[in-house]
């Protein structure tokens, strides 16, 4: 599955940045793999939930959301909005430490959290 | 008054009246009821899209069309796979009759009054269907795949109820 990296302007404002080129990635929720520019952490959108709901990452890592559900979902904060159709995936890069709480703006009960460490 | 009547009517049939002569709905009836609930909400959303100019209301209505169509498409694929023919029943008929009445009522409204009435009806409708799913439809479903789809439906309806409540609050 190819990942789209998007929302560069908005993500930059939140201390996130976006890899310009699409990147092939394994899509194992909760797993991460080493890449030349940090780890890739994959969060699945399945059965109206983020799985895992909370992940811990480090500055320089990337987070990819994969929509394995039958519904349109998003990973949304005030600073970025990744909207994904069923089967689609996209992600952001984490550039500064902090806690990022996000929701699906279509299904506000879906909540996720990224703890970004130095 | 009409809203209370609608809620009472749907609740009465969807929760209690769903039982057939044998005491509980069968899978074919359950599938029909769940599918009908989705169709009703899509129709309500299409009415909202035709009448409302409020961006939040329109976004919500589009979400209803998108989500319920997705679930119902999955339901259709499932009943085909299981060789089950959804069976019309008094509960489905009652839901449709109540929805038709509500649609006529909402059709007389416009502007903010319509938006508020639509949002409030979405809350009421989803609450009612959630109750029916949790207390009657899911417990009585025999096929594991149907039960699983109903559980997804319940989770979806709960999300929609929450979203409808947020929408209604924003319209005050």
Query: Alpha-carbon distance B18 to B15, whole Å?
Result: 6
**Among the listed residues A75, A85, A76, A5, the one whose alpha carbon sits nearest the alpha carbon of residue A40:** A5
Total domains present in chain B: 1
CA distance B48 to B67: 16
Residue A104: what pLDDT? 95
Chain-chain contact of A109 with B63 (C-beta, under 8 angstroms): no
CATH number (domain holding residue B7)? 1.20.1260.10
Q: Tell whether A109 lies on the interface with B, counting CB pairs under 8 A.
A: yes
Domain A2-117 classification at class level: mainly beta
Given this model, what pLDDT does residue A34 score? 54
State yes or no: pLDDT of B40 exceeds 70: yes
Residue B18 lies in a domain: no
Q: What is the pLDDT of residues A1-35, one digit of tens each?
A: 445 555 433 344 344 444 322 333 344 555 555 55
Q: What is the pLDDT of residues B77-112, one digit of tens each?
A: 999 999 989 999 999 999 999 999 999 999 999 999
Looking at the domain assignment, is residue B72 inside a domain?
yes
CA distances, A115 to each of A26, A112, B17, B167, B168 (Å): 22, 10, 49, 30, 33
Alpha carbons B39 and B65: distance in angstroms, whole number: 9
DSSP H helices in B15-143? 27-51, 55-82, 90-107, 111-132, 138-140
Q: Give pTM, 2 decimals.
A: 0.80
What is the residue extent of each domain of chain A?
A: 2-117
Task: Tell whether B85 is covered by a domain.
Answer: yes
In a domain, B113, yes or no: yes
The β-bridge relationship of strands A23-24 and A38-46 is unpaired
Give the pLDDT of residue A57: 96
- Contact criterion met (CB < 8 Å) for B152 and A86: no
**Nearest by CB to B166, which of A48, A108, A110?**
A108
The parent domain of residue B113 ranges over 2-11+26-170
Whether residues B159 and A72 touch (CB distance < 8 A) is answered with no
Whether residue B20 lies inside any domain: the answer is no
Q: What distances in angstroms separate CA A46 from CA A67, A72, A83, A104, B148, one per listed residue?
A: 7, 11, 14, 12, 13
Find the mean pLDDT for residues B56-74. 96
Residues 96-155 of B with CB under 8 A from A: 152, 155
From A48's Cα to the closest Cα of chain B, the distance in A is: 7
Q: Count of CB contacts below 8 A, A vs B?
A: 31
Is the residue at B90 inside a domain?
A: yes
Residues of chain A in contact with residue B58, where contact means CB-CB under 8 angstroms, are none
Give domain status of residue B16, yes or no. Answer: no
ipTM of the complex: 0.79
Q: How confident is the model at residue B23 (pLDDT cuts 50, 70, 90)?
A: low
| Residue A59: band (very low, low, confident or very high) from pLDDT cuts 50, 70, 90 | very high
CA–CA–CA angle A97, A38, A75 (5° rounding)? 60
């Amino acid at each position: 599955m190819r990942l789209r990296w998007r929302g560069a302007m908005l993500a930059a404002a939140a201390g996130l940045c976006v890899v310009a080129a699409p990147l092939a990635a394994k899509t194992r929720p909760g797993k991460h793999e080493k890449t030349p520019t940090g780890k890739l952490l994959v969060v699945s959108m399945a059965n109206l939930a983020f799985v895992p709901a909370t992940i811990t990452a480090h500055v320089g890592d990337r987070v990819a959301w994969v929509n394995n559900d039958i519904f349109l979902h998003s990973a949304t904060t005030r600073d970025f909005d990744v909207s994904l159709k069923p089967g689609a995936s996209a992600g952001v890069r984490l550039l500064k430490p902090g806690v990022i709480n996000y929701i699906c703006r279509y299904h506000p009960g879906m909540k996720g959290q990224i703890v970004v460490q130095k | 008054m009409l809203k209370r009547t609608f809620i009472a009517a749907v609740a009465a049939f969807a929760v209690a009246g769903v039982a057939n002569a044998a005491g509980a709905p069968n899978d074919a009836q359950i599938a029909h009821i769940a599918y009908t609930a989705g169709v009703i909400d899509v129709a309500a959303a299409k009415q909202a899209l035709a009448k409302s100019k409020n961006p939040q209301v329109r976004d919500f209505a589009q979400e209803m069309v998108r989500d319920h169509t997705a679930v119902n498409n999955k339901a259709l694929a499932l009943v085909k796979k299981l060789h089950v023919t959804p069976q019309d029943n008094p509960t489905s008929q009652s839901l449709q009759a109540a929805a038709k009445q509500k649609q006529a009522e909402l059709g007389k409204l416009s502007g903010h009054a319509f938006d508020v009435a639509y949002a409030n009806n979405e809350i009421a409708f989803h609450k009612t269907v959630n109750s029916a799913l949790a207390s009657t439809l899911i417990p009585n479903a025999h096929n594991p795949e149907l039960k699983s789809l109903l559980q997804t439906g319940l989770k979806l309806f709960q999300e929609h109820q929450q979203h409808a409540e947020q929408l209604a609050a924003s319209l005050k």
